[in-house]
Amino acid sequence: MSQILVNDLTFSYEGSFDNIFENVSFSIDTDWKLGFIGRNGKGKTTFLRLLTGDYRYSGSITASTVFDYFPYLVTKEQKQLPASAFLRELKTGCEEWRVICELAQLHEDAEILYRPFETLSFGEQTKLLLAVLFSGEHDFLLIDEPTNHLDQAARECVKAYLASKKGFILVSHDRDLLDACIDHVLVLNRQTIEVQSGNFSVWWENKQRKDQFVMAENEKHLKEIGRLRQAARRTAEWAEKSERSKIGFDPIREHDRGKGMRPYIGAKTKKMQSRVTQMSKRIDHEIEEKEGLLQDLEQPVDLKLMPLSHHKDRLVEVRDYGLQYTDAEHPVFSGLTFSIHQGERVALHGENGCGKSSLIKMILQKAAAKTTDAAYPLSSMPVSEKGICETAAGLTISYVDQDTSFLTGSLPAFCKKRNLDHSLFCAILRQLDFERVQFEKNMENYSEGQKKKVLLAASLLTPAHLYIWDEPLNYIDVFSRMQIEKLLLAYEPTLLFVEHDVRFREEVSTKVVTL
């Protein structure tokens, strides 16, 4: 076991006027199973890239270990080849037999090594690359969101596999995965960085207690500051009144006062002014103690939604329905029956490739055909249908695509294209913890989580009868996930969604449709 020491680390991207890290210091052990937690855009992936030496920085990172990063970059040319042909290009010194041993632990057959990489499913690709990652010895592994786009079965497999390993940093927003796989957390708070023992739930419980404590302390300091200011103001008024009474007096009304009273009044005034000075110092001390108390407090703002009410109760009906692509031998699915009524939150569940996204696109296509004002007109899919898939007429749909690669250009241009109010749109992004400095950047420079928040903010700002979200939480941070859960439970919109986050699905859905 050795340590990784980070001392006075400061880093910012070239041309950026805000630091990602500033004078950061901490240490971690290379034997830990470390979960890396933080808001989108706080610098989790950047820190991993600093460890691998991809960027220049000031300060120091001291380690006696070799770092390796997941996911590996697989080129377009490599994707056409079997992985066995380019293993050593991914990881120096990688031995095929070790990869096969790791694949066995992932319950995956070695034959996927010898099939063209691009023909493998998301789950198979992820397992293969993880097997390559863990095939070395004594490396400290940097694992960046390994379960995005994976179905539940693949997630469970990866979860069990990582739980049996050690010596890694795991960046993930999946609470279930973090609880199962880690024994320490590295947290990027709003202003500070902390390292703590335990899994996600342990850290979250501690954080809630800490947040409650600092809020109580803050309230106590505010009350004390208010009390001191009131007392100081009252004492200052008395001192001023006393000072004014030193010179001149009414001999009839103040017949017992002589010229010798003036020094007495002056001394009394000086004493009261001294008390005011002491109170001012106490106020400054209270303010100083209060400063920094709330710097890491997470207080997500309650989001708002504007669901529309439709004249029909049943918005979507699917009966004995099947889809088959024209160039495929077998249907994607068949015999599917379910309906979506107003107020229902329906989760589509199933393995990768079972047709969840295809079904969503068909529903969007059916709805677009019944209105002249479709927000998401789609070209016809090359499929044949069996059975019935119908949507209510005049249905307004707000859609979040799982793909974010099309997001380029500025936020004002995006709002203009989507007919969104730019001010309201930015206000929602602020509620999702976007920093104002991000508004000046083009979207292609955003992190994946920030891009996803752009799509979610656009959806929240769009009044709709039916919200369709296809894997909306990929790359979204834990705090925002909880924020969105609270929103959906409060406003109860009609929702059709695909999401592999078990806790989110269990919390939000009123009905699960399994393909």
Write down the domain spans for the chain: 3-201, 208-290, 314-514
Q: Which of the listed ranges 187-201, 335-349, 380-394 does the model predict with the highest average pLDDT?
A: 335-349
- Structure confidence at residue 276 (pLDDT): 73
pLDDT at 237 over 70: yes
pLDDT digits (tens, 9 = 90+) for 8-26: 999 988 766 678 888 889 9
Domain 3-201 has CATH 3.40.50.920: no
Q: Which of the listed ranges 157-166, 212-221, 365-374 does the model predict with the highest average pLDDT?
A: 157-166
Q: How many CB atoms are located within 10 Å of the residue 393 CB? A: 11
Distance CA 125, CA 196 (A): 32
Torsion sign (Cα): 216, 221, 222, 227: positive
Q: Is 421 helix (H, G, I), strand (E, B) or coil?
A: coil
- Structure confidence at residue 289 (pLDDT): 67
Q: Is 501 helix (H, G, I), strand (E, B) or coil?
A: coil
Average pLDDT over all residues of the chain: 86
Q: Which residue has the higher pLDDT, 421 or 403?
A: 421
Cα 59 to chain center, whole Å? 28
Per-residue pLDDT, averaged over 441-467, amounts to 92
Q: Which fold has domain 314-514?
A: Rossmann fold (3.40.50)
pLDDT digits (tens, 9 = 90+) for 134-151: 998 888 999 998 988 788
Out of 52-61, 277-286, 473-482, pick the least confident.
277-286
pLDDT at 436 over 90: no
**Domain pair 3-201 / 314-514, same fold:** yes
pLDDT band per the 50, 70, 90 thresholds, residue 373: low
Q: What is the DSSP letter of 107?
A: T
Out of 206-210, 246-250, 492-496, pick the least confident.
246-250
Surface-to-core class of residue 400, CB atoms within 10 Å of its CB (0-12 exposed, 13-18 middle, 19+ buried):
buried
pLDDT digits (tens, 9 = 90+) for 97-125: 999 999 999 999 999 999 999 888 888 89
pLDDT at 460 over 90: yes
